[in-house]
Amino acid sequence: MLNALFLVGLQILYLVGATGLAIYGLQALILTLLKLREERLLRKSKARSVNTAVGRLYNESLDWPSVTVQLPVYNEVHVVSRLIDACAALEYPSDRLQIQVLDDSTDGTTAIAENRAEFWRSQGTDVQVLHRSDRRGFKAGALKEGLHQATGEFIAVFDADFAPLPDFLKHTLPTFLDSAGQNVGFVQTRWTHLNERYSALTKAQALALDGHFVVEQSARHSVGLPFGFNGSAGVWRRACIEDEAVGGWQDDTLCEDLDLSYRAQLAGWQGVYLDEVESPAELPPQLLAFKRQQFRWAKGSVATLRKLAPSVWRSGWSTVKRTAAYVHLGGYLIHPLLLLLLLVTPLLMLFGSQAYWPLAYLSLVSVGPPALYALAQRRLHPQDWTRRWARLPLLMLLGMGLSLSNSVAAWQALFGKGGAFLRTPKFNVEGSAGTWHGSGYALDLEPLVAVELTLAIYAGTGCYLAAIHGQWWNLPFLALYACGYALVAAVGLYESSMARSARLHLGRRSARPQPPKNLVKY
């Protein structure tokens, strides 16, 4: 009797996991179809995209408003100069441009920032360094405090890993200034990649981000579904942030950007996504750094879901819009679902159970994510999109391998576990050149690697069970888990070893992050 109840429980858990994954696969498929529909309509009408038209509204005679560019940084000696110099080079009337370096650093970053700010002030550009010794509220706290001293009617935000193009403001602000843009609260642009060619890891990350921006963000915006501000490379209307119904920057989630953008849309403000406006940024070249980034994004987005779910339910949004919001905010819940299926599947085989129809149901929509990434690459790189799309197997392995870490993040968010804002280290790696191993910012291995190795062995055992029980349809699924966890653990161990060796070679003194030597005043 107990065995029968246990087996029923396993089957229910399996069904929950398979159905949940099917929902997210269906979402990817729907967004892909919406993007294809949008492109077909544009071709049929021979009209330019709205994004392109908006981007070309630039007019020299326009009465440009005041803008504050906020740059939240924390311990960024390798990239803070690149960031400040790029923002100071923005093509915009200098008397209407203010740049705030919101610096929470505890190392040499502050001195570098002050050096560059002093230089640009001597060139007539208003660059201020606002240093906090207390990181209260982390990034959200820095943005909130900086707003008190901001002079701009519009607020542009760039994280430390970005290098905006000179015409960024002239391609984004017309969206607000157009007669139809008076209710626009924020504008988000498309991230591009400074170091996509650096390694297989950065190429896989580029594939994932391209899919998110080119298809997901674009499709949601095109049909009026809620979408999120990505935290960087965007512009806010200050009146929107300060609207009492919106509530300003808040630090009770680690995704203050997603949180604010949803509160703004719930309050009636409109978000606009500009796919044609590119904003270059550096991808994490270290797997452990990418893993930390994903952990923060997973925890922050699930915490935002937990916080805003009642507000979304009480909103005047349609059922479709509310459902789309829940699925979007809960996007990282796919990782606990993946972990659940891994844990349950070998046990089901051990008890001689076979679950055919959930697998068939899942397979119907599993084409969604591959189709989404293929469409994004075809749109961006029509000449060689198939070669770029061929990175998908590595991205799948990374997704499987990160499911444990991201599940821990989701668990902490759902049950209100706090935690510090763990930054993603940047190393000023561009193109295919540069190194990060000797930097003091390189991350050390975490104890979770032992669990990842255990799960790799567990998945491998599941492969053996699938073979001896003749359940061959489970083999590819379990092999992906085994290889994914083994890959993440092995690369983490290798990177940690390389970083330690580099530090020993460089010596204790040079292991600390040092200011770049090329601080030339130009």
424/282 Cα distance (integer angstroms):
11
pLDDT above 80 (res 48)? no
Residue range 184-188: average pLDDT?
Answer: 98
Q: Is 259 a catalytic residue?
A: no
Q: Which residue has the higher pLDDT, 188 or 365?
A: 188
Residue range 369-376: average pLDDT?
Answer: 96
Residue 62 confidence (pLDDT): 66
Q: Give the model confidence (pLDDT) of 454-472 as tens digits.
A: 999 999 999 999 999 888 8
398/349 Cα distance (integer angstroms):
25
Q: How many CB atoms lie within 10 A of CB 100?
A: 27
Alpha helices in 123-217 (DSSP H): 138-148, 168-177, 200-210
pLDDT above 90 (res 435)? no
- Residues near 133 by Cβ (< 8 Å), separated by ≥ 6? none
CATH architecture of 49-286: Alpha-Beta Complex (3.90)
Of the pLDDT bands very low, low, confident and very high (cuts 50, 70, 90), residue 503 is confident
* Cβ pair 493, 449 in contact under 8 A: yes
The 3-class SS string of 340-377 reads HHHHHHHHHHHCCCCCHHHHHHHHHHCCHHHHHHHHHH
Q: Give the model confidence (pLDDT) of 261-287 as tens digits.
A: 999 999 999 999 999 999 999 999 999
Of the pLDDT bands very low, low, confident and very high (cuts 50, 70, 90), residue 388 is very high
Residue 263 confidence (pLDDT): 98
Token pair listed for 305: 């879901």
Please report which helix (H) or strand (E) contains residue 110, including its range: helix 109-122
Looking up tokens 């492109």 gives 39
Of the pLDDT bands very low, low, confident and very high (cuts 50, 70, 90), residue 518 is very low
Of the pLDDT bands very low, low, confident and very high (cuts 50, 70, 90), residue 351 is confident
39/30 Cα distance (integer angstroms):
14
Residue range 46-73: average pLDDT?
Answer: 68
pLDDT above 80 (res 377)? yes
Coil vs helix vs strand at 204: helix
Q: Give the model confidence (pLDDT) of 201-233 as tens digits.
A: 999 999 999 999 999 999 999 999 999 999 999
Angle among Cα 312, 407, 9 to the nearest 5 degrees reads 90
- Residues near 454 by Cβ (< 8 Å), separated by ≥ 6? none
* Cβ pair 150, 68 in contact under 8 A: yes
Q: Of 78, 151, 70, which Cα lies nearest the Cα of 103?
A: 70
Angle among Cα 187, 93, 428 to the nearest 5 degrees reads 65
Tell me the pLDDT of the chain averaged across its residues.
90
Residue 495 CB-half CA count within 13 A: 25
- Bridge partner residues of 274 (DSSP): 189
Q: Of 217, 213, 222, 221, which Cα lies nearest the Cα of 380?
A: 213
Of the pLDDT bands very low, low, confident and very high (cuts 50, 70, 90), residue 174 is very high
Q: Of 367, 202, 163, which Cα lies nearest the Cα of 285?
A: 202
Q: Of these residues, 103, 104, 161, 259, which one is catalytic? A: 104
Poorest-pLDDT segment among 127-131, 331-335, 440-444: 440-444
439/426 Cα distance (integer angstroms):
10
- Bridge partner residues of 281 (DSSP): 162, 193
pLDDT above 50 (res 387)? yes
Q: Of these residues, 159, 161, 210, 257, which one is catalytic? A: 257
Q: Of 352-361, 408-417, 508-517, give the range with the top mean pLDDT.
A: 408-417
pLDDT above 90 (res 514)? no
Residue 46 confidence (pLDDT): 56
Of the pLDDT bands very low, low, confident and very high (cuts 50, 70, 90), residue 355 is low
38/30 Cα distance (integer angstroms):
12
pLDDT above 50 (res 522)? no
Of the pLDDT bands very low, low, confident and very high (cuts 50, 70, 90), residue 169 is very high
Q: Give the model confidence (pLDDT) of 99-144 as tens digits.
A: 999 999 999 999 999 999 999 999 999 999 999 999 999 999 999 9
Of the pLDDT bands very low, low, confident and very high (cuts 50, 70, 90), residue 517 is very low
Residue 180 confidence (pLDDT): 81
pLDDT above 70 (res 346)? yes
Residues written for the chain: 522
Distance of CA 349 to the CA centre of its chain: 36
pLDDT above 60 (res 324)? yes
pLDDT above 70 (res 510)? no
403/338 Cα distance (integer angstroms):
7
- Bridge partner residues of 97 (DSSP): 67
Coil vs helix vs strand at 233: coil
Coil vs helix vs strand at 416: coil
Alpha helices in 256-402 (DSSP H): 256-266, 287-314, 319-329, 334-350, 356-365, 368-380, 385-389, 392-401
Q: What percent of the chain has pLDDT over 90?
A: 74
Residue 472 confidence (pLDDT): 82
Residue 423 confidence (pLDDT): 85
Q: Is 161 a catalytic residue?
A: no
Residue range 90-96: average pLDDT?
Answer: 96
Of the pLDDT bands very low, low, confident and very high (cuts 50, 70, 90), residue 364 is low
Of the pLDDT bands very low, low, confident and very high (cuts 50, 70, 90), residue 49 is very low
Domain boundaries of the chain, sorted by first residue: 49-286
Residue 81 confidence (pLDDT): 98
- Residues near 63 by Cβ (< 8 Å), separated by ≥ 6? none
Token pair listed for 37: 């529909």
